[in-house]
Amino acid sequence: MMRVFWAELSRDLLLAFRHKGDFLNPLIFFLMVAVLFPLGVSPAADFLAQIAPGVLWVSALLATLLSLDNLFKSDFDDGTLEQLLLSPESTYMIALAKACAHWITTGLPLALMAPLLAVMLFLPTQAIATLVISLLIGTATLSLLGAIASALTVGLKKGGVLISLLVIPLYIPVLIFGASAVQSAVDGLPVTAYLAILGAMFALSLVLAPFAIAASLRVSVSS
Amino acid sequence: MLVQCQPLKEIYCTGWGVAAPLLEVKDLYCERDDKVLFENLSFQLQQGQILHLGGSNGSGKTSLLRILCGLYHDFEGQIEYFGLRLADELENYHSSLLYFGHQVSVKLGLTALENLTWYARIQPQLDPSLISKALSEVGLEGYEQVLCQNLSAGQRRRVNLARLYMQKSSAIGHSLWILDEPFTAIDKQGVQELEQHISAFAASGGTVILTTHQQLALSSKIQRLNLDDWGTK
C-alpha cells in the first residue's frame, strides 16, 4: 500500500523537478502580488502591516488555485492516469500521493517563502511564525480540496473556470481561519484556537478527500 | 496493502468441474452519441485464446476494450470473470490485466528505465528484475537513460510495449492482455517480433484481446470478432 504511495510521490516529484517552470509559476505569482501591492495601494508601513495577513493569505490561496489546472492534466493526456486506475493497488493511496506531491511543490515552497514577503509587507515579526504554520496546514488542505475539483474537471477541454467555481466555496473557510490566525498574532492574541480549527479541517480533508479524488478520477477517465 | 492471492483455480471452477471461461460477455449493449455501437454482443474467452477484434473506424472497438478493462461503465449487459461478476472482482482482475491503450502511456519527462520502474511498482504483475531484458527485447538497449521526449514516436511506444516482456510467469494462466492497436508506429521487424511474443504468451496459457488493422500472421489459432456485424448501420 505504501509502495504505490512512494512510487507515485517520487515520480511526481521527479517530474516537477525536471519541469521547473510548472512549480515556479505559482511562486512567482505569490512574489508578484506581494511586490505589486505596495506599489498599487500605498507603501506606508503601518497601512501595509494592517493588510499584510489578508494579502499574504489571499495570494497564497490564488497561487494554489493557479496550479490546480495542471495537477492531473498531463497524466490524463498521455494515458498514464488510466494506467494508474488500472492498478490493483489502492486508488486512495494514489490520490493521496498526487495531492501530497502537489503540496510539496506548491504549498510547502509558498509557506517557506512567506516570511520573506511578510517582511516586505511590514508584518510584525511576532506574527511570522503563525503565518508559516497556518500556511503549512492551510495549503495542505487547499491541495487536498483542490485536487477533487481538478480530478472532476480533468476530462474537460476548458476546466479552468469550473475549477475556480467548484473550489472557492471550499477554500473560503480555510482562508477565514488562516488569515484570522495571523491577524490575532499581530494583535498579540492567542492563536491556538484558529490553528486547531485549521488542523481539524486538514485532518478531515486528509481522510476524506482521497476518496473523492479517486472517485472523480474514475468518472473523468470513463467519459 | 498486500494483495492476498487466492487459489484462483479452485474458486473459479464451476460446480461441474469445468473451468469457467476467463471472460464471458453476455448481451452487451453500448451506445455513444445516439449511435448503437453494438447490441446483444455475447462471446466467451477461454484461457490461452487470442481474440482479434475487427471492425471499421468508429465501430466501437476501443469502447469495447475500455468496457472490458473496467474503465468505461456506460453500457448494459453482463461481463463475467471466471464466472463471477467483473465489477465485484476488479481488484483480482486488475492484478492480472495489462492494458495497452491508444495513448503512449509513457511520461515524456522520465527515462525509459524510470517509466518501467514506475510501472513495475504500480502493476504488481510486472517483474522489475526483467526491465533491462525487456528493453533489449524491444530494441531499446542503450536507451535506458534517455528521456522519452528525446525518443521517436515508435520508440516511445516500444517503451510501453516493453511491459509485455516483463510479465511475471507465475500466474500466466490468469493473465489477460488487452491491446488496442499495439502495432501503431512499430516497424515491420518489430511487428513480427511482437506477434511472435504474443503467440508465445498465448501458447503458455495467457489470454489476449487485440485490435489491429494489420493482417495477423500469428501461428496460433485466433478467434475473430467483427464489431460491424453487431451494430446498427
Task: Using alpha carbons, select from B141, B145, B117, B147 the residue that is nearest to residue B129.
Answer: B117
User: Are residues A7 and B106, on separate chains, in Cβ contact within 8 Å?
Assistant: no
Instruction: Give me the pLDDT at residue B33, please.
Output: 85
User: Are residues A88 and B94, on separate chains, in Cβ contact within 8 Å?
Assistant: yes
B15 pLDDT band (50/70/90 cuts)?
Answer: very low
Task: Kindly identify which residue of chain B lies nearest to residue A11, measuring between CA atoms.
Answer: B118
From the candidates B2, B66, B103, which should be mutated to test the interface with A, based on the most A CB atoms within 10 A?
B103
Instruction: Give me the pLDDT at residue B220, please.
Output: 66
Residue A7 has pLDDT above 90, yes or no: yes
Residue B225 has pLDDT above 90, yes or no: no
A154 pLDDT band (50/70/90 cuts)?
Answer: very high
Residue B127 has pLDDT above 80, yes or no: yes
Instruction: Give me the pLDDT at residue B11, please.
Output: 45
- Chain B residues touching A19 at Cβ < 8 A: 109
Which amino acid appears at position A77 of this protein?
A: D
Average pLDDT of chain A to the nearest whole number: 93
What per-residue string of b and e applies to A191-218 under the rule 16 or more CB within 10 Å gives b? Answer: beebbebbbebbeebeeebbebbbebbb
- Chain B residues touching A11 at Cβ < 8 A: 107, 110, 114, 118
Question: How far A95 CA lies from chain B's nearest CA (Å)?
Answer: 13
Instruction: Give me the pLDDT at residue A147, please.
Output: 96
- CATH 3.40.50.300 residue ranges of chain B are 21-96+172-233
In B75-221, DSSP assigns E strands to: 76-81, 84-85, 97-100, 176-180, 207-211
Instruction: Give me the pLDDT at residue B4, please.
Output: 45
Residue A203 has pLDDT above 80, yes or no: yes
Residue B176 main-chain phi, psi, to 5 deg: -130, 130
What is the average per-residue pLDDT within A146-167?
90
Domain boundaries, chain A: 2-221
Rg value, chain A, Cα: 18
Task: Using alpha carbons, select from A218, A7, A59, A179 the residue that is nearest to residue B110.
Answer: A7
For chain A, which residues lie within 8 Å of any Cβ of chain B, measuring from their own Cβ? Answer: 1, 3-4, 7-8, 11, 14-15, 18-19, 77-80, 82-90, 94, 221-222
Instruction: Give me the pLDDT at residue B110, please.
Output: 94
Strand pairing class (B76-81; B176-180):
unpaired
Instruction: Give me the pLDDT at residue B13, please.
Output: 43
- Chain A residues touching B119 at Cβ < 8 A: 83
User: Are residues B101 and A79, on separate chains, in Cβ contact within 8 Å?
Assistant: yes
Instruction: Yes or no: say if A53 and A187 are a contact pair by the CB < 8 Å rule.
Output: no
Question: How far B45 CA lies from chain A's nearest CA (Å)?
Answer: 20
Query: CA A64 to CA A102: how far, in whole Å?
Result: 9
Residue B96 has pLDDT above 50, yes or no: yes
By percentage, how much of chain B surpasses pLDDT 70? 90
Tell me which of A95-104, B5-14, B46-55, B93-102 is least confident: B5-14
Of B101, B109, B123, nearest to A82 by CB-CB distance is B101
| Predicted-assembly ipTM surpassing the 0.95 threshold | no
Of B71, B114, B124, nearest to A221 by CB-CB distance is B71
pLDDT digits over B147-199, tens only?
999 999 999 999 999 999 999 888 788 899 999 999 988 898 999 999 999 99
Instruction: Give me the pLDDT at residue B8, please.
Output: 43
pLDDT digits over B61-85, tens only?
999 999 999 998 888 999 999 989 9
Sheet with B23-32, side-by-side order of all strands: B35-45, B23-32, B76-81, B84-85
Question: How far A91 CA lies from chain B's nearest CA (Å)?
Answer: 10
Question: How far B208 CA lies from chain A's nearest CA (Å)?
Answer: 17
* pTM for the full predicted model: 0.90
What is the average per-residue pLDDT within A27-42?
91
User: Are residues B103 and A19, on separate chains, in Cβ contact within 8 Å?
Assistant: no
Query: CA B23 to CA B53: how far, in whole Å?
Result: 15
CATH number of B21-96+172-233: 3.40.190.290, 3.30.70.20, 3.30.950.10, 3.40.50.300?
3.40.50.300
User: Are residues B71 and A86, on separate chains, in Cβ contact within 8 Å?
Assistant: yes
Average pLDDT of chain B to the nearest whole number: 86
User: Are residues B1 and A89, on separate chains, in Cβ contact within 8 Å?
Assistant: yes
Residue B221 has pLDDT above 90, yes or no: no
User: Are residues A14 and B123, on separate chains, in Cβ contact within 8 Å?
Assistant: no
User: 3-state DSSP: chain A helix, strand, coil percent, rounded to 5?
Assistant: 85, 0, 15
The residue with greater pLDDT, B32 or A144, is: A144
